[in-house]
Amino acid sequence: MQVNEPSWRKPAGMGLILLLIAIWSVAVVMAVEALGLPLWASGLAFVAGGVAWLWLFPMKRLLRWMETGKWRE
């Protein structure tokens, strides 16, 4: 019976994901505050920034690396 060894990639990948989220959040807040938008427009800008996160920083490759150790298939 083979025992799966814990991988360092999963905690490292989770830390990287949290770091990327923190950096992106600070950048979006700074950008929205610099624009000085009304409250309703700020809310829309925050939603747009959150959706942009999904397209600008696709997590598929990072999650694949965490699981397999390979960046590409």
pLDDT tens readout for residues 2-54: 667 768 888 998 999 899 889 988 998 999 999 999 999 999 998 888 888 77
> What is the model's pTM?
0.71
Is residue 54 one of the residues assigned to a domain? yes
Domain count for the chain, please give it.
1
Q: Residue 66: how many CA atoms within 13 Å on its side-chain side?
A: 13
pLDDT digits (tens, 9 = 90+) for 44-70: 998 888 888 777 767 778 888 888 888
Is residue 13 one of the residues assigned to a domain? no
Domain that holds residue 53: 29-67
